[in-house]
Amino acid sequence: MRVLDGVRVLDFGRFIAAPWCSALLADMGADVIRVEKRDGGEDRWVQAVTETGEGATFLQCNRNKRSLTLDTTTDEGRAVTRRLVTGADIVVANMPAAGMRANGLDYESLRAVKPDIILASATAYGEGGPYSDRIGFDGAGQVMSGATYRQGLPDQPIRTVVPYADFGTALTLTIGVMMALYHRDRTGVGQHVEGALLPTALMLSNAFLIERDLLSADKPRMANQGTSVAPCDLYRTRDGGWVLLQVAGQPMFKRWCRLIGRPELYDDPRFADDDLRWRHGDELNDIMSRWCAEKTKAEVLGLLESAKLPAAPMHSTQEVLDDAHINEMGYLQRVAFPGAAHHVPIIETPFRLSETPGEIRRRAPLLGEHSDEVLREAGYSDADIDGLRARLVI
């Protein structure tokens, strides 16, 4: 038995924040129905990797789901939505409040149909403030949280290519949904769970804001160097590889000094603690750069591991796919998909439960692949479904 067996989710999400939330619920056993436009949601076709145009992120974020196409802007489409809601436990969506109301997905409309429904919504900025009606993607959270201001090169801020605000919002939204389910099981009362990109990004960059507020100063952008410790950087090795090292705390710094043959650095007052080492980080990082430049990547990693220092190789994307540990642990599950060159490496549920683990039971759905099936379950006859299709509702 899976944790969420018997729980039904209607997923009106697009791109990452809402779809990854519902994917995690699906991994744990929920029946997730992805409801998208008749010609497909925009996120289905971004970064295409299959013959029919499905995108890489779509394949990740929509495994274990069934697909229903539906024009929710029509009266008939909204009627179908209401009928589906009567049999659902959770509705997941990410769109501005005006769009939610227009599609009959706002909390008041949903609660009128099913009083104990749980609505999980994700927006860019959160509801109730002057930015609430604005739209925005992951980058908006990054650049407005102070994080991008602090990262990059001295004269060039650099946004992170990985959409961490989106995926982070999906994770916080999932936590909120599980709390709401727990609350409903105890009280019978549903609720509205809200997540947003900006507060997620603020959570992740909060330490920078605390520093600024209490010290009235910002540390400079330092590329790959540490924000508060040293030596810390990506170091190039003799054979052209790159290795990350992050040294924090006195015991670790002492082991590093011994490893590189510079024990006197440990007693140097300039390097007496993490903050002082960061302030004089250029010298420590230069020493480490020269030490790494004389050795191969394998040699550097072996020596750092033997000294119990936290180091890791910088992987190319192919090296990630080939990594022995990643393959041994099964972090990437190979899933067949029509039109893909071969089985697709999809990240497993990003947490493991010893008794009720999540699993990828089915690939992401083709567009409208389960429309008839879902509508029959909702009580529509084959003639009803044919009529909806003829009138371009599905």
Please state, in angstroms and rounded to a whole number, the distance separating the CA atoms of residues 72 and 14. Answer: 14
Residue 166 annotated to the active site: yes
What do you get for the CA distance between the two ends of the chain, in Å? 33
CA distances from residue 222 to 101, 210, 244, 257 in whole angstroms, order as listed: 45, 19, 15, 23
Task: Give me the mean pLDDT over the 354-368 stretch.
Answer: 97
Spell out where 203-327 has E strands.
Answer: 232-236, 242-246, 311-313
Within 10 Å of residue 199's Cβ, how many Cβ atoms?
Answer: 18
Residues 113-163 pLDDT 10s: 999 999 999 999 999 999 998 999 999 999 999 999 999 999 999 999 999
- Indicate the pairing of strand 65-69 with strand 311-313: unpaired
Q: 8-204+327-391 adopts what CATH topology?
A: Rossmann fold (3.40.50)
Task: Give me the mean pLDDT over the 51-63 stretch.
Answer: 97
Q: In the structure, what pLDDT confidence band is assigned to residue 97 with cuts at 50, 70 and 90?
A: confident
Task: Give me the mean pLDDT over the 18-45 stretch.
Answer: 97
CA quadruple 217, 221, 222, 224: dihedral sign: positive
What residues form DSSP beta bridges with 243? Answer: 235, 313
List where CATH 3.30.1540.10 sits in the chain: 232-316
Residue 95 has pLDDT above 90, yes or no: no
Please state, in angstroms and rounded to a whole number, the distance separating the CA atoms of residues 148 and 200. Answer: 14
Q: How is residue 216 annotated by DSSP?
A: S
Q: Which of 11, 27, 89, 166 is catalytic?
A: 166
pTM, 2 dp: 0.95
Map 15-32 to HEC letters. CCHHHHHHHHHHHCCCEE
CATH class label, 232-316: alpha beta
Residues 190-200 pLDDT 10s: 999 999 999 99
List where CATH 3.40.50.10540 sits in the chain: 8-204+327-391
Q: In the structure, what pLDDT confidence band is assigned to residue 96 with cuts at 50, 70 and 90?
A: confident
